[in-house]
Each structure stands twice: as structure tokens, then as C-alpha cells.
Chains A and B, each alone.
Chain A
């Protein structure tokens, strides 16, 4: 019946190329097979996807919020600009050349001239001392240039302030360094919080998927024993669980994507109202194509990681009795 057994019951050896083809076939078969198996329990699957989706969407929403704060002019509104008070009149050649120098500097983002008249008008409107100011024969306020630094780095802003102080026509430079440092610290802190939460939620996702896979293994224990009894390797037995993990992670990522996009649509109205109230262009931007793609990759990757981290040892321990 077996040509090998005729020669003295030699154990059969499968050739390497055949083995590679078999490997490929098994993988191709599992891609659809595992998905079909998962979909056959739609309630459980939807629940697992939703849990993973929520876990993945949390750090993403946090991250999008921070990105919106950091990118829009609301950040600039929070960042106090450098106020450069002039010792010369705003229409003097010194003032013009100073403005020009500042605008050309790569360290300066924008430089805006506020003339004596403008300063007076603003002061009068804001202080309510309009009557008194009108009584003055002369405008006591100096001209000013409002400078926005190009970088947010505290040290280089300090250098910029020192440099401006030495320029001709500058009377005084006022800059609230503490404010700047506080804001920066806050942004760094938020960044860390997002990173940490992303890490924690990722571990959570791995645990969720690992747990789901372990439950599946428990329910298929006798099947795994039989398969091993007929010569299935640990890798062979693990393979369907890698695919299951992948599908769980990928589906969870799709769910997270939906949660994020729906949340953004849901938040868009109130955010716009708030932004208008603050005269800010603050807006939450949706996930870009490449970000969406990365989210899906992370989801699928976490699923595969989960099937390695929490399944491999478990599967190896199951032996036919």
C-alpha cells in the first residue's frame, strides 16, 4: 500500500519544496477559513471587535485633540508673542529697517507693526480711559512690533529675545518666558500621556485578543489533541490562531476607525462653535489615508502579537493523552 513500507517500514520524508507548497496552501486556506469561523458567531465577534475598537480609539482621539491644539492658531493665541517696544517713531527709517530685519530673520515667524495710533486706539477701547486719553495733548504710547518666534523651543526663544534687545531702535523687549515654558511642559506632558495611554491600550488589546483566543483553544482542546496525534506540529496548530488574532485585531481597528470618524463628526459642530467664540481656527481633522492605513496595520499587528504572546505556550502544553 505504501511503497516506502515495502522496503522495511522506513519513515517517510517529505521533500522541502513540497513542504513549502503545503505551507502556502495551508496559509491560503486559513485566511478565509478563520474569518468564516469567526463570522459564524456574529454576536461574540461584534462584541470583541467593539471592545478592541474602543480601546484603540481612545489614544487616537486624545492624539487628534492634541494635534489640533498644537497645529491651529489657538496655540499661537496661548503662546505670548514677544513685544518689542520701539524707541523711535513708527514711521522713522529705523523702525522700517528694524521691521525688515525681523521679518527676514529665520527665527521669526511673523512680525507685525503696531503704530502709536493703533496702540492708543486699542488701549482706549480696552481700558475705558478714552476720555482721559483724549485730554492728553500727546500720545504717550510707543510704537510696538509684535514678534512670533518660529520655534517653540524655550532656549532659542530666549536667544531671539536677547538678539532683538540689541537691535537699533529697540527700547524694551517684553516676553513672558514662564508662560511659554508652562505651555511647552503641558504639551510634552500631554504627548507622554498619549504615548502611555497608547501603550496601555495596546497591551489591553493584546490581552483582550489573547483571552478570546484562549477561550477558543479551550473549546477546541480535544480537536487540537487529535490533530497533534496525527502529526500536526505546534506551528501547524498555532497557525489558525494567528489568523484569528489578525482578524480580531484588524476588525477592531476598523471599528476604532469608525468610532474616531463618527466622534469627529459628532464633535465637529460644538468644536466649530467654540472655535468661533474664541476667534480661533481650531478644528479637529479626520484621520488621513495613511493614518487610517497605519491604524489597520497596528490593529492586525497587535492581533498577531497577541496570538504569539498568549497562545504559543498554551498550545504547546496541549498534548494528546
Chain B
């Protein structure tokens, strides 16, 4: 469960990215964040995994109030949140397996378990047997899927995605969205920021509309 209670975020330069945002997202829900760029979608995601702190209000993630979370506890929060970026953010000097296995290494899993989970995650995104390849040899869509595999390999209860289909063609976008939908059915709370309105409409999921830092609609 994810709760925002009258959350505002004002950056040091005075720009108010979010104003008085309140919302509640239940476990296993898939929610799209929509709105023009600069509406505060990224800021909202960053408040969930502690990359930013709210200026006002409370943020509760999985029953834990993270509004004033100490920096020491930030890592364990983040280990429970998978993130997917528009620009992949892969490590290009590491193999696909090393990239996907990163959250597992951080969690300190035994190597055998790591290899097994990497295999499972790669097969989930349709990249089975590609462990030893380097990211730069992969297509944009494949790189994005490696990023998704990395975000879910440690089976986090939360998954955040910022424009995950920004670089993909419509067919691939649909595939990726189908993956996210699968995860939510398995109990993962998924939040996807996107301005691909056609895709959102096709998914028929709950949508949170943001404009200039305010919630303009939050409906089924």
C-alpha cells in the first residue's frame, strides 16, 4: 500500500513540483501517472523511493512512513522498490547477467540463487539465454527489457517506471505494458509515469492525472 497525505514538494530553486497531493494505491494495483512533462510525475516517483523528500505532508510506503526516513534506512527501503527508467540506466561495461543481478548482489544473495533468479527474470522478459551478452549489443527494446528484468529480479513489492516505453515502438510498448500488468496480478504495486495516452486507454487501468503539480483526476 502506498499513501500520499497532502504532499507538497518545493525544490530549492522555488519551483513547486507537487502541491497538496493526496492519494492511496492498494497492494497489487497498477496505476498510470499521466500529464504533460513538468507536471510532477517524476517528482512523485522520486518521493516514493526517497530520492526526494516532501516539503509538506506524509508519504507512507508499505506501512512505513518515509517522510523523515534516516539516510541509513534509505537502502532497505530502496531494496523493496524496483525502478525502470526511460533511458535504461544499464551498466554498459557489465554483462546482461551482471546488470540484472545487481539488486541481488546488493541484497547479498548466494551466487547460485542469483544465477537462478537472473535466468527466471530474463525468461520473463523474453531474453532467455542472453546472460553473457553486453548491453550495447542489444536493441533499444531489448535493453529496456533488461532494465525491467533488473527491476523485478529481486521480487520487490513495489515497481516504479518512469516513461518505460519512451524509446519503444507501439508493438514493443504493448509487450512491456503487458509485463507490468502481469506483475501487478502477482501482487506487485506498479506505478507507471507516461504520456502515451493511447496505451493507457488500451490498458484500462487506473489513471492519476497530474497538471502543474496538482492531481486533476484519479479514476478507474
Contact = CB atoms under 8 A, between A and B. Distances in A.
Are these two chains actual partners, yes or no?
Answer: yes
A10 B158 CA distance: 10
B183 interface: yes
A258 B192 CA distance: 60
A12 B79 contact: yes
B158 A231 contact: no
B91 A9 contact: no
B62 interface: yes
Interface in B109-142: 109-111
A26 B156 CA distance: 21
Contacts of B157: 2, 4-5, 9-12
A17 to B, nearest CB: 11
Given A5-B155, A11-B80, 16 more contacts: A5-B28, A8-B27, A9-B62, A9-B158, A9-B187, A10-B63, A18-B108, A19-B108, A25-B110, A26-B108, A226-B91, A227-B106, A229-B49, A229-B78, A230-B102, A232-B75
A14 B107 contact: yes
B189 interface: yes
Given A1-B186, A5-B187, A226-B91, A11 B108 contact: no
A4 to B, nearest CB: 6
Interface string A280-321: 000000000000000000000000000000000000000111
| 10 shortest interchain CB distances as A-B pairs | A22-B108, A231-B79, A231-B78, A1-B186, A5-B157, A2-B155, A233-B75, A9-B27, A9-B157, A5-B187
Contacts of B105: 26
Interface string B95-108: 00000001101111
B37 interface: no
B80 A226 contact: no
B51 A320 contact: yes
A8 B186 contact: no
